[in-house]
């Protein structure tokens, strides 16, 4: 995965926010009052949501089929390569029975995975510079070939037009308040009952939230197996370090600031193969041999005392939600 992230498309944060209170594990993902404007420095190699459109208002009596969509990450560029590693991207599809129109809805990074996972170290700036936002994208059509060729396109439930419109209002709220992409799940061990320190916030979590919202509205889901990709770091109990101001500000901790910048330096975009492998050895030395990882989560920095097996990609079953009695669907 480190190879994948180092080679991921980069382009280059978004304004900070006030520090939130510490809570019990896992640290809850923080929501915000609005989505801040992106800095012009942050540029994506691939345009976000190029054919996106507003979510339409459906007629109440419409019956809408809901499809589970899944394909390997970057399938458009690498085919099923990452599918062999079970690194999958998730989306949801809709088909109106009244109009016959299809729609796709998904959630992903505005500036590609590398930028959401690691910062840029810009000259003249003490603090690492983050280009990290994620957002929902809705557009007309379902690319059957994309989802079927190397992934999944399967009917999971049917809903009414009224339920679809209520879901659309929830998507607007979710999209305006859940603005930062979080790549990593961090937990104490591979054991399924182990403590989760931080949970990820990425494409599959959006789909799971959408399914749950539909279930809350009355949808009944088919009994089919559904698996999702998680990228997990394994760590002892994390140590809270502070936010950008407390670490990198005028009264900050210069020693800690230097250590964080030094940690992130090997994850920068690379211009040569030699530079890439030199930095890869530095990453292995710090993360595996010295058990160090600095995590940026909710605009705050944490130290992770890493432990074996350090990192793992899992493709784990998460059952579809159970609808209530009298629900709509099949």
Catalytic residue among 42, 89, 120, 131: 89
The stretch 67-81 carries a mean pLDDT of 84
pLDDT at position 20, please?
44
Q: Does residue 22 carry a pLDDT above 60?
A: no
For residue 322, what are the CA distances in angstroms to 21, 62, 106, 168, 249?
33, 22, 22, 20, 48
Residue 203 among the catalytic residues: yes
Catalytic residue among 84, 120, 203, 291: 203
For residue 267, what are the CA distances in angstroms to 122, 258, 284?
13, 15, 11
Q: Does residue 306 carry a pLDDT above 90?
A: yes
User: Confidence band (pLDDT; 50, 70, 90) for 324?
Assistant: low
120-129 contacts: CB < 8 A, separation 24 or more?
120/12, 120/41, 120/268, 121/261, 121/264, 121/265, 121/268, 122/41, 126/248, 126/252, 126/257, 126/261, 127/244, 127/247, 127/248, 127/257, 128/260, 128/261, 128/264, 128/296, 129/12, 129/13, 129/41
Q: Does residue 189 carry a pLDDT above 80?
A: yes
The token pair that represents 276 in the structure block: 């890439």
- DSSP state, residue 254: H
The token pair that represents 77 in the structure block: 């560029």
- DSSP state, residue 106: E
The token pair that represents 189 in the structure block: 């061990």
The token pair that represents 35 in the structure block: 């989505």
CA 231 to chain centre: 10
Q: Considering the chain, what is the average pLDDT of its residues?
A: 90
pLDDT tens-digit series, residues 8-19:
444 333 323 334
**Tokens 């507003």 appear where?**
54
Within 13 Å, how many C-alpha atoms sit on residue 75's CB side?
23
pLDDT tens-digit series, residues 100-128:
999 999 999 999 889 999 999 999 999 99
The token pair that represents 120 in the structure block: 């840029």
pLDDT at position 327, please?
52
Higher per-residue pLDDT: 138 or 3: 138
The stretch 63-73 carries a mean pLDDT of 96
- Compute the distance between CA of residue 27 and CA of residue 180 in angstroms, rounded to an integer: 15
- Compute the distance between CA of residue 188 and CA of residue 195 in angstroms, rounded to an integer: 5
Q: Does residue 156 carry a pLDDT above 70?
A: yes
The stretch 298-304 carries a mean pLDDT of 97
pLDDT tens-digit series, residues 212-267:
999 999 999 999 999 999 999 999 999 999 999 999 999 999 999 999 999 999 99
Residue 116 among the catalytic residues: no
């Amino acid at each position: 995965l480190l190879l994948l992230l180092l080679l991921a498309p980069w382009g280059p944060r978004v304004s900070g926010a006030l520090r939130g209170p510490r809570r019990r594990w896992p640290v809850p993902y923080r929501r915000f009052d609005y989505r801040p404007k992106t800095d012009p420095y942050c540029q994506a190699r691939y345009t976000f949501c190029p054919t996106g459109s507003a979510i339409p208002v459906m007629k109440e009596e419409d019956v809408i089929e809901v499809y589970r969509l899944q394909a390997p990450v970057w399938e458009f560029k690498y085919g099923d390569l990452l599918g062999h590693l079970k690194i999958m991207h998730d989306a949801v599809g809709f088909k109106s029975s009244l109009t016959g129109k299809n729609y796709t809805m998904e959630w992903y990074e505005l500036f590609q995975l590398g930028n959401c996972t690691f910062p840029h170290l810009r000259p003249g700036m003490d603090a690492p510079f983050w280009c990290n936002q994620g957002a929902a994208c809705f557009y007309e059509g379902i690319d059957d070939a994309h989802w079927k060729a190397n992934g999944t396109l399967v009917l999971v439930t049917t809903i009414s037009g009224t339920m679809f419109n209520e879901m659309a209002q929830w998507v607007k709220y979710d999209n305006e308040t859940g603005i930062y992409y979080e790549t990593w799940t961090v937990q104490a061990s591979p054991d399924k009952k182990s403590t989760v320190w931080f949970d990820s916030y990425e494409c599959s979590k959006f789909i799971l939230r959408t399914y749950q919202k539909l279930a809350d509205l009355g949808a009944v889901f088919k009994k089919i197996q559904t698996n999702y990709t998680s990228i997990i770091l394994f760590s002892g109990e994390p140590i809270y370090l502070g936010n950008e101001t407390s670490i990198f500000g005028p009264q900050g901790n210069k020693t800690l600031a230097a250590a964080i910048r030094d940690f992130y330096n090997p994850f920068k975009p690379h211009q040569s193969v030699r530079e890439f492998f030199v930095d890869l050895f530095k990453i292995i030395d710090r993360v595996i041999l010295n058990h160090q990882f600095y995590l940026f989560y909710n605009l705050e920095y944490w130290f992770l005392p890493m432990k074996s097996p350090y990192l793992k990609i899992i493709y784990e079953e998460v059952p579809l939600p159970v609808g209530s009695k009298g629900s709509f669907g099949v």
